[in-house]
Structure 1
Amino acid sequence: MLEQLLKPILAPLFAQWPGLNEFGWQIAAAVVVALIWLLTVVFNWVTLRLIVRLSRKAPIWDELLLTSIRNPIRLLIWVVGLSLLLEIFSRNGLPVSTHAGTELRRFGAIIIIAWGGLRFISSAETFFTQPARGSKQVDRTTADAIAKLLKLIVVILAGLTVLQSAGVSVSGILAFGGVGGIAVGFAARDLLANFFGGLMVYMDRPFRVGDWIRSPDKEIEGTVEHIGWRLTRILTFDQRPLYVPNATFANIAVENPSRMRNRRIYEHVGVRYDDAAKVKQIVDDVREMLMQHPEIDTHQTMIVHLNRFGPSSMDFMVYTFTRTTQWVKYHAIKEDVMLKIADIIFSHGAEFAFPTQTLHIASGVDDGPEPQPLPADMQAELHR
């Protein structure tokens, strides 16, 4: 077919140089290669200009689609050109199967289309998790779950299409998969448990990538780096990667401090019993200081009251919440609050209490009868 198309084009060349008739198929192959190269250059130039133009205006889907399929289409051009060369070779006595070109086009097109689909899904995931041009950011965990599901669908469809094109009965494979799935399910219970555990994490979203989580049931604490279908990777605070099977999260309680709205300051401050008369004013001044503090959330519960009589001190409780949830900033605020409490106590001439004990010795206690002298014989015996 290709040779029939090329004959009218090459006829004037062969008429002028009859000797070239002996090299007809070689010239046809060279023309195909030149056309492929020219088409590739034109395609690169056109798509590059389109991408630049589309990047300046919305919607972004056009740019994402064109950027994703650019390399696959460029490869498809060369696959089609190579298949045409194989047809030329097979019809001119070279040891190439007559069906090689057709099979290459068929399977190559399926694989390249699937590759383009996977690239488009990855590009969309990257764009929506790292927003540009002021677009709203999509939750990274949700985007990752949707992208993985779509990629799995593309791979399965591409695989079934390749098998169908190869003459394999897909219906038989699906029927076998239904029966064999039961045996595989028993053999891979842990794998399936982790898969559905990961699915529940994606659906319930108790945490997402970037969250700080910890479990009171297990020694798990750190920042979530990646949520896979089988494992979740957590980076602990001592910079050690921790890999947790997803099935674990179905059986443990998970605390997510990253979703806290405030952090709590909870302290007991002890003042000496000698300063009991000053405790009321100290407590009032501490409460007023917290009410005026710019980093304390006054809309949350605040308790500053004398709380208990300790063994060596009168203790008042300081219970309040900071506006920030940042770990480092919280400690800086807590330090400032505690230093101001100390200043208030010292400004009233009071002191912090130390663990002390007071020993009272009663006066006028009868010490017992006066000791009587020893008999003379016993004294003589002692002086021997």
Structure 2
Amino acid sequence: MQQLDAWLSRLTGGDATLTLVVQVFLVVSVVVVGNFLLRRLLDRLAARTAQTANPWDEALVNAARRPLPLLAWIVGLAFAARIVQSEADAPVFEAVGPLRTIGVIGCLTWFLVRLIANMQAAIMQRQLERGEAVDRTTVDAIGKLLRVSVLITATLVGLQSLGFSISGVLAFGGIGGIAVGFAAKDLLANFFGGLMVYLDRPFAVGDWIRSPDKAIEGTVEDIGWRLTRIRTFDKRPLYVPNSIFTQIAVENPSRMSHRRIKEYIGVRYDDMGVVARIVDDIKVMLRAHPEIEQTQTMIVNLDTFGPSSVDILVYTFTRTTNWIAYHEIKQDVLLKIADIVSAHGAEIAFPTRTLHLLPGDESLSAPPQSVPAPASR
């Protein structure tokens, strides 16, 4: 370093100001060239890792592509500022050291946050490629916890580097936490409600949920720490505070094992003589149907004598849980039941009412009398 200073002194003719300018210029030039080479190196590494089967090296390189060049600039400019500080005793240069420390901590934090996000995406992509069920809820929860941990650790390290006492900060946080707890109890309730959703897992992202207690029904799109976003079936976003889920019952139809068909088939009272045969044929049809689950409860019986029909209960389950396929199967079953009823010469009843007139009741049997229309004015 002394030889470099002597060489610069001879080059600038002993002018201290010119020597300082040349030193700063050289440092900045080295930073610019080094930053350019570093970017090229990272781009080539990213292109090479994108072709490998291992997703972790690609996540690591992509996480470093932006923070690492910024770190090079911070270190280089801080070094240039130190050179200027050696010649100029301005108080402003005393902030160079702390700013450099904060910058390095910030770049490292940025790198770790990006690395966690990239690894989170890589895990989900790998599960999809292997044909495994993607547990997006757990991956998101772990990713969020890791990012919060990194941010809290970086904040504490930064405060310690700036000369603040961590024990004092933690003590202040404990005292202030009591006040914050009273002031933000709803926020904390939502936070712990979201934590319970992550732990108990009554539903996950992509599930169809509904609540009999609240007007909540739709597909879960995101589970945050404060809100859960649900897309209703009319495509409107519904934002539900997480504390609500600790107070209501939640039904998760996405996790049903089968879908149920429960219908009442009404036939006329005139067809009472063939009801037993209709019931037997419906049972035979359901037992032979390829989309009806035979291991589940199946009921086909005369159920009630209705006001205008004899009602047959058809109770069974489909193999599929898909909503669209279920309706196709249900339609096929109902059409086959209609064919069975017709094959026995019976008819499906519709609401009717019979009026019995008593003999000699002339007020009911007499034809209506015409009423003259009012004269026009």
Same fold (TM over 0.5): yes
Matched, 1:42 2:40: no
Note closer, same or farther for the CA distance 1:223–1:6 as it changes in structure 2 (3 Å cut): farther
Percent of aligned pairs with the same amino acid: 54
Q: Are 1:84 and 2:82 counterparts?
A: no
Displacement of 1:355? 2.7
Residue 107 of structure 2 corresponds to: 112
Unpaired stretches in structure 2, ≥5 consecutive residues: 363-377
Deviation at 1:228, TM superposition (A): 1.1
Larger Rg: 1
Superposition deviation, residue 102 in structure 1: 2.4
CA–CA separation in structure 2 for the residues paired with 1:262 and 1:145:
30
For residues 11 and 174 of structure 2, the distance between their equivalents in structure 1, rounded to whole angstroms, comes to 67
Is it true that 1:274 corresponds to 2:270 in the alignment?
yes
- The more displaced of 42-51 and 94-103 is 94-103
Amino acid in the other structure paired with 2:83: I
Question: Does the Cα contact within 8 Å between 2:12 and 2:18 map onto a contact in 1?
Answer: no
The 10-residue stretch of structure 1 (196-205 or 41-50) with the greater mean CA deviation from structure 2? 41-50
Instruction: Tell me the amino acid that sits aligned with residue 281 of structure 1.
Output: R
**1:162–1:5: structure 2 CA closer, same or farther, 3 Å change rule?**
farther
User: 1:48 and 1:349, CA in 2 relative to 1: closer, same or farther beyond 3 A?
Assistant: same
**Aligned equivalent of 1:376:** none
What is the distance in 2 between the residues matched to 1:271 and 1:17? 111
CA contact (8 A) 1:290 1:296 kept: yes
1:312-323 mapped onto 2 (5 Å cutoff):
312-323=308-319
CA distance in 2, matches of 1:358, 1:49: 88
Q: Give the counterpart letter for 1:336 in structure 2.
A: D
Give the structure 2 partner of residue 373 of structure 1.
Answer: none
Give the TM-score normalised by structure 2: 0.87
Query: What's the CA shift for 1:77?
Result: 0.4
Query: 1:213 corresponds to which residue?
Result: 209
Whether 2:75 is the aligned partner of 1:52: answer: no
Distance 2:170 2:182 in 1: 19
The separation in 2 between residues aligned to 1:164 and 1:262, in whole angstroms, is 58
- Return the alpha-carbon distance in structure 2 between the equivalents of residues 49 and 135 of structure 1: 31
Does residue 291 in structure 1 map to residue 287 in structure 2? Answer: yes
- Note if contact 1:6-1:28 (Cα within 8 Å) is conserved in structure 2: no
3-state SS of paired residue (1:75): helix
Would the aligned equivalents of 2:55 and 2:122 in 1 still touch at CA under 8 Å? no
Q: Is this contact kept in 1: 2:56–2:122, CA < 8 A?
A: no
CA-based RMSD: 2.6
Equivalent pairs, count:
360
**Aligned position for 1:73:** 68
8 Å Cα contact 2:12/2:19 also seen in 1 = no
Tell me, in whole angstroms, the C-alpha distance in 2 between the residues paired with 1:4 and 1:268: 100
What does residue 254 of structure 1 align with?
250
TM-score by length of 1: 0.85
The equivalent residue for 2:5 is 7
Indicate yes or no: 2:25 matched with 1:25: no
How is 1:1-384 mapped onto 2 (pairs within 5 angstroms)? 4=2, 6-7=4-5, 11=7, 23-93=18-88, 97-131=92-126, 133-134=129-130, 136=132, 138-358=134-354
Match of 2:371 in 1: none
Superposed CA deviations along residues 229-264 of structure 1, whole A, max 9, x for unmatched, are 111111222222222111111111110111111111
Within 1, Cα distance between the matches of 2:357 and 2:131?
80
Distance across 1 between alignment mates of 2:55 and 2:238: 37
Q: Which amino acid aligns with 1:43?
A: L
The one-letter code of the counterpart of 1:108 is G
Q: How far did residue 311 of structure 1 move?
A: 2.9
Paired residue secondary structure (2:314) = strand
Pair 1:219–1:17, CA change in 2 (3 A): closer
Per-residue displacement from partner, 1:201-223 (whole Å, max 9, x unpaired)?
10000011111111111111111
Assess, with a 3 A threshold, how the Cα gap between structure 1 residues 5 and 201 changes in structure 2: closer, same or farther: farther
Change (3 A) 1:5 1:184: farther
Residues 49 and 347 of structure 1: is their aligned pair in 2 closer, same or farther, counting only changes over 3 Å? same
Shift of 1:94: 8.4
Check the 8 A contact 1:214/1:256 in 2, yes or no. yes
CA pair 279-137 structure 1, distance change in 2 beyond 3 A: closer
